Copies of this chain bind each other. A is one copy, B any other.
Amino acid sequence: MSDADSGGIAVLAGGVGAAKFLAGLVEEVGPERVTAVVNVADDTTVHGLHVSPDLDSCTYTLAGANDTERGWGLRSETWLAMESLGRYAEANDVTDGDAAAWFSLGDRDLGTHLYRTSRLGAGLSLSEVTAEITRGWGILANLLPVTDDPLRTRVHTRDGRELAFQEYFVRERHDVDVRAVQVDGVADAQPAPGVLEALGTATAVVIAPSNPVVSIDPVLAVPGVREAVSARRDSVVAISPIVGGHALKGPADRLLRDLGHEPTVAGIARWYAPVASTLVIDLEDADEAAAVEAEGMRCVVTDTIMRSVGVTADLAATALESLAGS
C-alpha cells in the first residue's frame, strides 16, 4: 500500500464545483482522510447574518442535503422568510442594498446563518463554528475555512464600479466586464488552525475544479498558503475548471479572459504551474495535452464532467493515481 492509499488528502476548495468533487473524493478514499481548505472571500453579511457560501456548499453537498436541480442551497427548501422580506421591500421600493432580497436565503439555510452568526457573536472562530456545523450533519471530512480572518473579494468593473463579490456574482449574475479583482484583508490574514498542517502533511493536495480567480486564488493568497502548496508542488494536482474553452458553471472563462488570461486548459496550466505539478483535463480537451505540458505541467486526460458521484469518484482516483505514479 503506497502513501497515496492511506495518507491525508488536502483539497483547495471553492463552492459548488469543489463540493461535487469532495463528494466524489470522499466516496473514493473515505471521509476521514479528507481535509478541505475552503475559500471564505465570498463570505458576506446579509441582513446582519454571516453567510459563508462556499463552506455551506461543501457542507450541504457532503451531507447529501444539497439541491442538485437548483445547483445551490438545501433540498426541500422553502422561501417564506424571503417572501415576507419582499413584502416590505416592495412596499417601500427598496431595490438597493441587501434589504432588496436579491440575495435569496431559504428558510432552512437561514438556520445555518443564524447559528453561525450567534456562535461568532459568542466568541467562537469561523473554523470552530464550521466544525460545529459539520458536526450537525455528521460530516466526517474536515472542512476548514482557509482563514478565520475576514476576507472580502471586491470586483472592479470596466465601467468603473466596485462591487462586493455577491453583488457581482448574484445581483449582476456576473454579467459585467471585470477590470480587476482584489481580496480585502488578505495581506493581514492568518491561515486558520490546521490549514498549514493539512497542506504540509497530506499525501496529496488537490486543487478542486473551482474558479481559479475568485475561489482558489483567495485561498492561495492567504500568507503562507501559496508557499505551503508550492513547496509540495510534486504532490499537487489540479482539476481543470475549464472544459472546451468554457467554465462548466459560473464565470471562470469570462473572468480569465477579462483579466488577460486564456480560458483554455493551457491557460489553466499556465495559471497553476507554479503551485501544481499535474493538471487533469477533460476528454474533450485531449488534443490540448501537449499545450498543457508545454506550460511545465504533467497532463492527465479523463472524464471530468461530474455528472454523478461515481464518475466523480473515478475522477478523484485518477487525480490521486497521477501523483502516486510520479
Contacts and interface: CB of A to CB of B under 8 A. Distances in A.
A160 interface: no
Contacts of A135: 88, 91-92
Number of copies of this chain that the complex holds: 2
Contacts of A87: 111, 136-137
Interface string A110-127: 111111011101100000
A89 interface: yes
Contact of A122 (B99, B111, B113): B99
Contact of A107 (B90, B107, B117): B107
B48 A115 contact: no
Interface string A36-73: 00000000001111100000000000000000000000
A2 interface: no
* Main DSSP-derived SS at the A contact region: helix
A122 B88 CA distance: 15
B80 A115 contact: no
A263 B96 CA distance: 50
A128 to B, nearest CB: 10
Interface range on chain A: under 10, 10 to 19, 20 to 34, or 35 or more?
35 or more
B118 A99 contact: yes
Contacts of A110: 81, 84, 107, 110
A72 to B, nearest CB: 16
A48 B117 contact: yes
B111 A88 contact: yes
A114 B136 contact: no
Contacts of A107: 78, 80-81, 84, 107, 110
A98 interface: yes
A175 interface: no
A278 to B, nearest CB: 38
A108 interface: yes
Given A47-B49, A91-B136, 14 more contacts: A47-B118, A49-B49, A78-B107, A80-B108, A80-B111, A81-B107, A83-B111, A84-B107, A84-B112, A85-B112, A88-B135, A97-B122, A98-B118, A99-B118
